[in-house]
A and B are shown apart, each in its own frame.
Chain A
Amino acid sequence: SQKIEQNSEALNIQEGKTATLTCNYTNYSPAYLQWYRQDPGRGPVFLLLIRENEKEKRKERLKVTFDTTLKQSLFHITASQPADSATYLCALASNSGTYKYIFGTGTRLKVLA
């Protein structure tokens, strides 16, 4: 069955450092990979989308890579700030015409001041 793995342990980093979160998947060939931010008690908010034919995507301090050979995506936040503390979810979707998003378990990031 399709499986998405994100590091379930919380990631603590110092302010100003780069945070790197990992999303691995198996038994799936997604055409799209997305990253969302979720704050406690709230719905996820979309951050970035990357397609299978794209290696890297950037938006301000965020960078996403997508390696379909390794079946892995890396999500980087540069110059991290305490306000970046949240849970980050990766989501996969195919291009089969069924617009169904499959989510990982999320990684909780805490940026220490």
Chain B
Amino acid sequence: DGGITQSPKYLFRKEGQNVTLSCEQNLNHDAMYWYRQDPGQGLRLIYYSQIVNDFQKGDIAEGYSVSREKKESFPLTVTSAQKNPTAFYLCASSTVDSGVTEAFFGQGTRLTVV
């Protein structure tokens, strides 16, 4: 089955620790995205990548880092510099070769700082 997989589903982090959220897709999509969702709020863009080895900051990139070494993978690291990391994190992917199309989302990772 083609799709986008995020892991883990739940993640607990101690203050001061870095954690990495995994996102893998087998849809052969060029573009991948990371969003953050807080309760009662919409999705806010953290980082996005349209091609391997290239990525751009979104609206709330501070305290986060990404890499795009493979087309299939776009991991997100939440660093200790992120002041309020507890949130629901969503990864998405889309094609870019025929204009804007739908974004496919993973099931999300809920990160809690303890």
Interface residues of A in 18-38 (CB under 8 A from B): 31-32, 34, 36
The reply to whether the CB of A42 lies closer than 8 angstroms to some CB of chain B is yes
Does B64 count as interface, using CB distance less than 8 angstroms? no
CA gap between A67 and B103 in the complex, in Å:
22
A103 touching B101 in the complex, CB below 8 Å, given contacts A4-B42, A43-B107: no
Q: Give the distance in Å from the alpha carbon of A64 to the alpha carbon of B9 in the complex.
A: 33
Once A4-B42, A43-B90, A95-B100 are accepted as A-B contacts, the answer to whether A101 and B33 lie under 8 Å apart by CB is yes
List of B residues within 8 angstroms of A89 by Cβ: 42-43
Minimum distance in angstroms from A25 CB to a CB of chain B: 12
B74 within 8 A of A: no
Q: Does B85 contact A (CB under 8 A)?
A: no
Chain B residue numbers with a CB within 8 Å of A98 are: 50, 56
Residues of chain B at interface, number, CB under 8 A: 29
Assuming A32-B100, A100-B48, is B42 touching A105 (CB within 8 A)?
yes
Report yes or no: B100 in contact with A93, Cβ–Cβ below 8 A.
yes
Offer 28 A-B interface pairs, CB within 8 angstroms, sorted by A: A31-B100, A32-B100, A34-B103, A41-B88, A41-B108, A41-B110, A42-B108, A43-B90, A44-B43, A44-B103, A46-B103, A46-B104, A49-B102, A89-B42, A93-B100, A95-B100, A98-B50, A99-B31, A99-B96, A100-B33, A100-B45, A101-B33, A101-B94, A101-B103, A103-B42, A103-B44, A105-B42, A106-B42
| Residues of B bordering A, CB below 8 Å | 31, 33, 35, 40-45, 48, 50, 56, 58, 88, 90, 92, 94, 96, 99-108, 110
